[in-house]
Every structure is written in C-alpha cells, then in structure tokens.
Amino acid sequence: MGVAEKLAQMKAEKSAANLKAGQDFLAKNGERSEVTTLASGLQYEVLTLGEGDKPLPIHTVTCHYHGTLIDGTVFDSSVRRGQPASFPLNMVIKGWTEGLQLMPTGSKFRFFIPPHLAYGDRLVSAEIGPNCTLIFDVELISFR
C-alpha cells in the first residue's frame, strides 16, 4: 500500500470514528429535557432568551461565539478574542444558518451541530477533523 492509500485509509477510519462518536453523543444529549432536536438533526439548548427580532438568512449577524468539539477541545472563540464576529447568515455552516434564525436578538443558545450541518467529511483544521460534531455557544448581539 502506497502513502496516498495509507493516508486515505487513515482519513476514512478517523471519519468513521468521529461520525460514530458524534452520533452517540447526540443520541444521549437529545435525551436531556432542556435540549430540542429539530428534524434536520440540529440540537439546541436555550441558555438566555432575548426579546428582540429574529434574523433571516439575508441578514448579517453580529455575535459572540465559543466553539468546541464534543470532547471539550476549543477550536474557535470570539469570546476569547474579546471581539464579536459578523457573518452573512447565508454564508456560514448550515447549523448556524438554521439555528440563529430561532434566536431573538439578545439570546444565547448552545447548538449541537451534526457533521452534515457543519463541515461534513472535510478535514477543516488541526482540531476539526472529518465528520466532527460541533458545539457552539452563540450570543446574538445584533443583525442588519
């Protein structure tokens, strides 16, 4: 077996392991009474419910967020940077596009995002491997 084949096999094994770990995590997490599971597979927990309007996919949202893997590894955090981030809501991962539309401005939700609503089987970074389930705490500050 050549190097390319060996790397492809290693990626496939890691992808399958990540997918299984995420499925097991989401199945158990979905049993918690404070977690809502949507038809898409997105799970969310309301940490703080705001009273403002909700964004649409055409809006640019400004939010603070803290992203981790299911094992607690932090892969990105505007909170740690001390600077909120702004994104066009229709240009982010599907889990964000779907989830943030549920949030009145001023809310803070925790999203549990399965791979098909995140980055799928792509290797995104040193932390985010193929088929990783992602967890985001998101505070919706504003949108325009």
Q: What is the pLDDT of residues 96-111, one digit of tens each?
A: 999 999 999 999 999 9
Active-site residue list: 65, 75-76, 93, 119, 136
Residue 9, token pair as written in the block: 């096999």
Instruction: Give the DSSP H/E element, type plus range, for residue 80.
Output: helix 78-81
Contact 144, 59 (CB under 8 A): yes
Ramachandran sector of residue 82 (left: φ over 0; alpha: ψ -120 to 50; beta: rest) = left
Instruction: Identify residue 85 by its one-letter amino acid code.
Output: A
How do residues 102-136 score in pLDDT, each as one tens digit? 999 999 999 999 999 999 998 888 899 999 999 99
- Domain locations along the chain: 3-143
- Neighbour tally for 52: CB within 10 Å: 14
CATH number corresponding to 3-143: 3.10.50.40
The pTM of the full predicted model, rounded to 2 decimals, is: 0.94
Q: What is the DSSP letter of 129?
A: -
How far apart, in Å, are the Cα atoms of 44 and each of 6, 59, 121, 124? 37, 21, 22, 23
Rg (CA), the chain: 16
